[in-house]
Amino acid sequence: MTDHSKTNEAQRDLDPEIEDLKSRDEILQVMYWMTGEGLGSEFSTADLQKFLPSEQAVLSCDLELLVSSGLLESQDDKFSLTQQGRAEGGRRFADEFESMIKPGHFECDEPDCDCHNADTAGDVCKHLSSAHVN
């Protein structure tokens, strides 16, 4: 019989570190999204808690760690993304939601194409058709 107690102990030791990384990753993604949606560019912990399931003390600690790593700036209890933070937040956001933001089946990358119109749903995109010549 295999002794899984050491594996379970090691897993328990790693879980808080992994959760901390996930939390900071989510903070960058949420701030990137909020900024992109025009909800502002500086956010308090209360603003972020609307979208992040984290206690204020934990969130504050994570925000300070992101400030010390150069991904966020802090002024008057508000936080904003640095240039590096915007790049990281954008990359992580794109990675997280890649499957939701890419074109659908038989849709192209051309935003004004008929294949994105609900009235022509199901038709093969003219840009993806072998008859279409660029």
What are 105-120's pLDDT values in tens digits? 555 667 777 776 767 6
Residue 95 has pLDDT above 90, yes or no: no
86 shares its domain with 25: yes
Range of the domain at 22: 5-102
Looking at the structure, tell me whether residues 116 and 87 fall in a common domain.
Answer: no
Q: Summarize the confidence of residues 39-56 as an average pLDDT.
A: 92
pLDDT band at 42 (very low <50, low <70, confident <90, very high): very high
Residues 85 and 111 in one domain: no
Look up the pTM and report it. Answer: 0.63
Give the SS3 label for residue 89: helix
Report how far residue 110's alpha carbon sits from residue 34's, in angstroms, rounded to the nearest whole number: 26
Residues 59 and 19 in one domain: yes
Count of the separate structural domains present in the chain: 2
> Cα torsion at 35, 38, 43, 47 (round to 10°)?
-110
Better-predicted residue by pLDDT, 22 or 14:
22
